[in-house]
Amino acid sequence: MVTGAAGFIGAAVAERLCARGDEVLGIDSLNDYYQVSLKQDRVAHVRAATPDAFAFKQVDFSDWEALSAALEGEEFDSIVHLGAQAGVRYSLENPRAYVEANLMGHVNLLEVARHRGCAHMVYASSSSVYGGNDKLPFSVEDRADHPVSLYAATKKADELMSETYAHLYRTPLTGLRFFTVYGPWGRPDMALWLFTDAILSGRPIKVFNHGEMWRDFTFIDDIVSGVVACLDNPPADDGEEKAGGSVKPHALYNIGNHRSEKLTKVIELIEQACGRKAEVELMPMQPGDVEKTYADIDAIQRDIGYQPTTSIEQGIPQFVKWYREYHGV
């Protein structure tokens, strides 16, 4: 089962799993945080690519009764829990949405994994848990208890609840701290989409912290390879210390590109791919945002063999090409 299957990463993971011969039940609430049509198009894209292997149900996994009813009679041996209320900035406007989806929803999925005896649940955490840490690159061994947004706080809470379930019920769990994922079928609330849309429309782009921003941009294909590899390698219940420090069957990994790119360089690559210059509006830092992210991926490389291969010079033109085809511009 893949949650958030209409989302950017969820749809891509579902498609990859189906393509290799797995049968996937995708669930998603199709909420309107951004345009529902894009979510529906992602589901249709996965269905078209793998019609016999993919089933989809619209359900809000933070509603226990609705989730239980939707899963009645369904069988699955593992879970990739990627559904969440996403976005750092929106958590300042609508905190309850994050508590419902990211806390109640996560507990519900832990309960499903526990009661069904699932072999493994891989779940989405976030690089935002590192908050204002200024030691770079971010390592899973670093303390992560000073979040600067509610979104980050909910993701850290998910890790703590997962540790409890791994301890009490020995459920094998792997949390993935994603770093700025981008690529075809991406999210409209993220910088790459916003910048591409504005440049192609001739509108100015807003660049925060006066352009002094660095992100570990990670291409979707590399992320999906990492998620699937983690799914195939559940942490052992052997009392040994796992990545992230747990001695339970619970591992935590950074999943990024292991390169921190300055935002102004990313803008230049988008300009090249669009064939036009950006009009830039320099803005101050936004509340809840951080200046730099940079993933130490030693643990996931060592344990899982994860190796990102796509540079932003390769990935950004692929995103812009997809964007233009999708919108017919």
Q: Please identify every residue annotated as catalytic.
A: 151
Which alpha helices (H) appear in the chain, and where do they start and end?
A: 8-19, 36-49, 64-71, 90-93, 95-98, 105-115, 150-169, 191-201, 220-231, 263-274, 298-304, 312-327
CA distances from 216 to 105, 226, 263 (A): 27, 15, 10
Residue 75 is encoded by which pair of tokens? 């069988």
In angstroms, the CA 167 to CA 72 distance is: 27
> Would strands 214-215 and 261-262 be described as parallel, antiparallel, or unpaired?
antiparallel
In angstroms, the CA 88 to CA 178 distance is: 13
In the chain, DSSP finds a helix count (H) and a strand count (E) of 12, 13
Q: Contacts by 236-243 with C-beta closer than 8 Å and gap 24+?
A: 236/172, 237/170, 237/172, 243/140, 243/299, 243/300, 243/303
Residue 303 is encoded by which pair of tokens? 């344990």
In angstroms, the CA 65 to CA 31 distance is: 18
End-to-end CA distance of the chain: 35
Q: Contacts by 311-315 with C-beta closer than 8 Å and gap 24+?
A: 311/259, 312/217, 312/259, 312/261, 312/265, 312/266, 312/269, 313/269, 314/219, 315/182, 315/183, 315/217, 315/219
**Residues 253, 256, 259, 260: is their CA dihedral positive or negative?**
negative
